[in-house]
Chains A and B, each alone.
Chain A
């Protein structure tokens, strides 16, 4: 028998269970990338994750390592509490855009500005997915949601929140980037960013966050493929992919 090389397998950091995510939802891809990075860096047994309130509320059933639940928006505070008493562990929070950019704005800004040595994976899908597709702070101008039935009117509802740009302004943030997962090249780049974010924490360099533009085909009322295209055509122009803050010490890790 010729020696075979395993090129694709279930990450150990991901449970072998079906998720509850809708078909075509990119939450699942993002979970997988996190799990792959945790395996690659051999961090599974020292990682503590925080699941948010949002569609990824059950993430603790999908990841195969210690996890806590946080109240809506409070994941960075819970992560802070854990990391401060267990600095030897790797601590990350997974948050949606309602969770992070609406109810939890104070917690994320202050965690970043304290240079809290934690990692955040921020899933921006431009809606409140879990509660049925209402407007999020990230909803685009004119975007129809269940609470902006005629499209988001910026005169009434304000402007979409540019989280990566905002966090990059904090002195404490070490690594702030925006990625997406709509096609293989973007997925590879996103995986690399998540890895750098964890490495930032491992090196004790402070706060790291990867904003990931993600789809919600169900609440956008689109097929999975239409959703990928809508994201690229509409979200990327408003939320440009790229690196918003990479301090020299993080740069030197590469």
Chain B
């Protein structure tokens, strides 16, 4: 496979196309706009659907329509736009429709700024909208991962009939890196529930409303069973230099990537530090993280937020090992030196 230089946003768009995305609905917002622009050019060339909707609210509901009609469909946005999509994502979850949503996060709250941030972790992984539900959430830390996870997102969305999110920060969207674009043979599963016109079969209904408590409870129990299945089967993470590491850094996306460089420098100084990098943020890779409590002297959580994933790490570690934290706010990306300094501090405090 030839390597090409691609920007994260465009790479996600191209990966979606290769994964068999039939329709894209979006609304411009920095720092994800190149994704929409790429789709506006390529989708019509391929005879597929591109539509710039009048708002993120409209776009997510167009996504719901196209998904209900049985097609592979995607939308992308950045933090404020993804906030607007939350009602629609809740409906996607309630109606069990597969769809891929990309959030290239920027600094918040409010209009914030267009710098890279990880402060939408709670919104993405804890449901975001109303009701008891979880979207599947995948967090790339390189452009190559953005490609691979986008393809995976379409597969998982169809497999579990569940909205699936790519959660990247602004730097993943904007950075240019050499990548390999895989050839994909999209194989969406049969969708007998889809709205296609009822020729030769009973009518299909796509709905989330069940007026009485009993039936809605029964629906929720089915959904919860599905989430437990996802939690059992789809936990993903990678590790870097964990051999013998007493200082275990937990970081995802760009923070994970910067941590890697910091860890390398620490190892050069003889400090035993390593990285646990979650890839699936929902389901959180609890099992693998939990098994590290035997070796870790401290878990150091690094995030470009005030400490959101931190809560998941604390839930997994359950006080067995100290959990420390450093965050960067307002769209600031940590430097490897800052990470190194924090690792040194951790090593002094917990491993000497």
* Apart from the given pairs A82-B66, A110-B58, 16 other A-B contacts in the complex at a CB distance below 8 Å: A48-B195, A64-B203, A66-B195, A66-B197, A67-B195, A67-B205, A67-B206, A68-B64, A69-B91, A70-B61, A74-B88, A80-B51, A81-B68, A84-B66, A85-B73, A107-B57
Q: Does the CB pair B61–A81 fall under 8 Å?
A: yes
Q: How far is the CA of A64 from the CA of B87 in the complex (A)?
A: 28
* B22 interfacial contact with A, CB 8 Å: yes
Count of chain B residues with Cβ under 8 Å from any Cβ of A? 39
Nearest A residue (CB) for B72: A85
Question: In whole Å, how far is B35's beta carbon from the nearest beta carbon of chain A?
Answer: 18
Residues from chain B with Cβ under 8 Å of A77 in the complex: 53, 57-59, 61-62, 64-65
Residues from chain A with Cβ under 8 Å of B204 in the complex: 66-67
Nearest A residue (CB) for B64: A78
- A80-B62 contact, Cβ under 8 Å, with A74-B88, A86-B69: yes
* A65 interfacial contact with B, CB 8 Å: yes
Q: Does the CB pair A84–B195 fall under 8 Å?
A: no
Q: Does the CB pair B91–A85 fall under 8 Å?
A: no
- A46-B205 contact, Cβ under 8 Å, with A70-B61, A71-B87, A85-B49: no
Residues from chain B with Cβ under 8 Å of A51 in the complex: 207
Residues from chain A with Cβ under 8 Å of B238 in the complex: none
- A85-B69 contact, Cβ under 8 Å, with A45-B197, A57-B209, A71-B88: yes
Residues from chain A with Cβ under 8 Å of B61 in the complex: 70-71, 74, 77-78, 81, 107
Q: Which of A47, A66, A81 contacts B62 (CB 8 A)?
A: A81
Q: What are 5 pairs between A and B in contact, CB < 8 Å?
A: A68-B206, A68-B207, A74-B64, A78-B61, A84-B51
* B198 interfacial contact with A, CB 8 Å: yes
* A79 interfacial contact with B, CB 8 Å: yes
* A154 interfacial contact with B, CB 8 Å: no
Question: In whole Å, how far is A26's beta carbon from the nearest beta carbon of chain B?
Answer: 22
- A66-B207 contact, Cβ under 8 Å, with A78-B65, A84-B62: no
- A69-B66 contact, Cβ under 8 Å, with A86-B196, A89-B196: no
Nearest B residue (CB) for A53: B209
* A60 interfacial contact with B, CB 8 Å: yes
Q: What are the interface flags for B65-97 relative to A under an 8 Å C-beta threshold, 1 for contact and 0 otherwise?
A: 111110101000000000000011001000100
Q: Does the CB pair A69–B49 fall under 8 Å?
A: no
Count of chain A residues with Cβ under 8 Å from any Cβ of B? 34
- A68-B195 contact, Cβ under 8 Å, with A78-B65, A80-B62: yes
Q: Does the CB pair B195–A69 fall under 8 Å?
A: no
* A178 interfacial contact with B, CB 8 Å: no
Q: Does the CB pair A65–B198 fall under 8 Å?
A: yes
Q: Which of B55, B57, B197 contacts A48 (CB 8 A)?
A: B197
* A27 interfacial contact with B, CB 8 Å: no
Q: Does the CB pair B54–A110 fall under 8 Å?
A: yes
Q: Does the CB pair A44–B198 fall under 8 Å?
A: yes
Nearest 5 Cβ contacts at the A-B interface: A81-B65, A77-B61, A81-B62, A45-B199, A74-B61
Question: In whole Å, how far is B110's beta carbon from the nearest beta carbon of chain A?
Answer: 21
How many CB-defined contacts (below 8 Å) exist between A and B?
A: 130
Which residues of B in the span 184-208 have a Cβ within 8 Å of any Cβ on A?
Answer: 195-200, 203-208
Q: Which of A64, A65, A78 has the most CB of B within 10 A?
A: A78
Residues from chain A with Cβ under 8 Å of B54 in the complex: 106-107, 110
Q: What are the interface flags for A166-190 relative to B under an 8 Å C-beta threshold, 1 for contact and 0 otherwise?
A: 0000000000000000000000000
Q: Does the CB pair A82–B195 fall under 8 Å?
A: yes
* B25 interfacial contact with A, CB 8 Å: yes
Residues from chain B with Cβ under 8 Å of A110 in the complex: 53-54, 58
Q: Which of A65, A71, A82 contacts B69 (CB 8 A)?
A: A82
Q: How far is the CA of A4 from the CA of B42 in the complex (A)?
A: 60
* B258 interfacial contact with A, CB 8 Å: no
Residues from chain B with Cβ under 8 Å of A50 in the complex: 65
Q: Does the CB pair B195–A81 fall under 8 Å?
A: no
- A85-B71 contact, Cβ under 8 Å, with A57-B209, A67-B205, A110-B54: yes
Q: How far is the CA of A78 from the CA of B92 in the complex (A)?
A: 12
Residues from chain B with Cβ under 8 Å of A106 in the complex: 54-55, 57-58
Q: How far is the CA of A51 from the CA of B57 in the complex (A)?
A: 18
Residues from chain A with Cβ under 8 Å of B63 in the complex: 81
Nearest A residue (CB) for B95: A69
Residues from chain B with Cβ under 8 Å of A107 in the complex: 54, 57-58, 61
Q: How far is the CA of A68 from the CA of B95 in the complex (A)?
A: 9
Residues from chain B with Cβ under 8 Å of A70 in the complex: 61, 64
* B151 interfacial contact with A, CB 8 Å: no
Q: How far is the CA of A46 from the CA of B203 in the complex (A)?
A: 11
Residues from chain A with Cβ under 8 Å of B203 in the complex: 63-67
Which residues of A in the span 56-103 have a Cβ within 8 Å of any Cβ on B?
Answer: 57, 60-61, 63-71, 74, 77-86, 89
